[in-house]
């Protein structure tokens, strides 16, 4: 199974946990417990959760860290990131908070990139770990920037 497919299995498991487990999840969608169990199991590489089931369950798992689990995993597999849209028009305070978050994330990215540059001559494991951290920090900067973009769009009247 590819890493992307395994990530989808893990995301499905997190979504199902967020709903309360397979028994609870089965009461909120069109498939049963065994199908949900298979969809999250790496032992069943041929079974994945259907999109309509994700649409039914993912909103119910909102309180679990990493939400929306399957949507995020799909975005990552496609080379993107999930950016939630603001629920209301952005305020001055929202924009200031986003600016502060972007500055913080940019600082963390800079630190990680410097570490990555100095790790180039180190062993491959150190270099890979430094690169993973820098990529994570870059993803964080992009997510904050796209959240800021969505907030600004509410001010222009587009949303």
pLDDT tens per residue, the chain (159 residues)? 899 999 999 999 999 999 999 999 999 999 999 999 999 999 999 999 999 999 999 999 999 999 999 999 999 999 888 877 767 788 889 999 999 999 999 999 999 999 888 876 668 888 888 899 999 999 889 888 988 888 888 888 754
What CA–CA distance (Å, rounded) separates 132 from 14? 22
Contact 148, 95 (CB under 8 A): yes
**pLDDT attached to residue 47:** 97
State the CB neighbour count (10 A cutoff) for residue 151: 20
Q: Sign (positive/negative) of CA torsion 60, 17, 33, 43?
A: positive
pLDDT of residue 159: 46
């Amino acid at each position: 199974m590819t890493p992307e497919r395994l990530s989808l299995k893990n995301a499905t498991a997190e979504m199902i946990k967020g709903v309360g487990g397979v028994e609870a999840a089965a009461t909120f969608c069109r498939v049963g417990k065994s199908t949900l169990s298979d969809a999250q199991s790496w032992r069943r590489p041929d079974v994945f959760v259907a999109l309509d089931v994700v649409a039914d369950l993912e909103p119910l798992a909102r309180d679990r860290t990493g939400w929306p689990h399957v949507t995020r995993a799909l975005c990552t597999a496609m080379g993107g990131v999930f950016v939630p849209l603001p629920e209301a028009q952005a305020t001055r305070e929202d924009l200031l908070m986003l600016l502060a978050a972007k500055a913080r994330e940019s600082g963390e990215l800079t630190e990680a990139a410097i570490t990555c540059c100095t790790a180039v001559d180190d062993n491959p494991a150190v270099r890979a770990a430094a690169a993973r951290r820098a990529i994570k920090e870059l993803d964080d900067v992009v997510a904050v920037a796209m959240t800021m973009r969505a907030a600004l769009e509410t001010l222009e009247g587009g949303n």
